[in-house]
Amino acid sequence: MMLWWGSILFTSGIHVSLIWLLSNTFMLPPSTEVSPVAMMLALSTEPEFTQNLEQDPVVGITQNINEPIVEQLENQPEDISDMLTAPEHSNASLIVERKVETAKKEPTKVKRLQQKVMTPRQPISEPISESPSKPSAPAAATSTPLSGESHQVAAAANSDSAHNQKSKMNWKSRLQGHLAGFKRYPLSAKKQRQQGTASIRFVVNTEGYVLSAKLIKSSGIAALDQESLAMIKRAQPLPQPPAELLSNGQVTLTMPIGFELKNKRW
């Protein structure tokens, strides 16, 4: 409303100024001639010159001067008012508010466009083809021989251990037969009918000689324990141990030695 009233005051001021300018520019200078009233009275006495006076160019000039002034005054302000007056609209304030709102919304649109432009494209997840999974078949094929080799190695180790165990059992049986030939029953224990079993641990080298001997478990009778250690030393050289049982050129063995009176030889 303030803008509308301001435009009306502005246009009215322009109208007044234009009227004042036009009136000053086209105003006739003060003439020394006789006023039209006196002229008409003087001419009325001479009727024959009335026609000439009516056709006097001075009167025509005044008419021509007055007519453009009126036309200019009538036409000029209308043009200016048309140019300067704002169109009357009942919803002028609403239009201004809408323009302001649209001006506020434009930055948000720009921000949204920037966000759309700046957002990186997400990588398109392509369907994984099943062809890369095919090389797993050779892996399985290669794993099969590996498992077979491991089984073979395990079987070979088992066979070696079984062979070693068998060799040890054979050597131990021969060793027991050899020691039985050097075994003596102590007389004191025999008279007292004492019996028992002592456990001896001894170390034998490649040639069958005893490097060391030790009582691991006592028989409970000192005479029987002493005889067990003496028997190992008397029986040297012992049967040579097999090479697969040797470790650093020697082998350690634990053997029980029993004394029983049922044996007729003693």
Q: Which residues contact 63 (CB under 8 A, 6 or more apart)?
A: none
Over its length of 266 residues, how does the chain's per-residue pLDDT go in tens digits? 667 777 788 888 887 777 877 776 655 454 444 454 444 544 444 444 444 444 444 444 344 444 444 444 444 544 444 444 444 545 544 444 555 455 555 555 555 655 555 555 555 555 454 444 444 544 444 444 445 565 566 555 566 677 778 888 899 899 999 999 999 999 999 999 999 999 999 999 999 999 999 999 999 999 999 999 999 999 999 999 998 889 999 999 999 999 998 755 54
Which candidate, 173, 200, 177, 183, places its Cα nearest to that of 266?
Answer: 183
Q: Where are the domains of the chain?
A: 2-24+38-88, 170-259
State how far the Cα of 50 lies from the Cα of 44, in Å rounded to an integer: 8
| Residue carrying structure tokens 């509308």 | 4
First CA to last CA distance, the chain: 147
Q: Provide the whole-model pTM.
A: 0.40
Task: Give phi and psi for 103, each to the nearest 5.
Answer: -65, -35
Candidates 3.40.190.10, 3.30.1150.10, 3.40.462.20, 1.20.1250.20; CATH matching 170-259:
3.30.1150.10
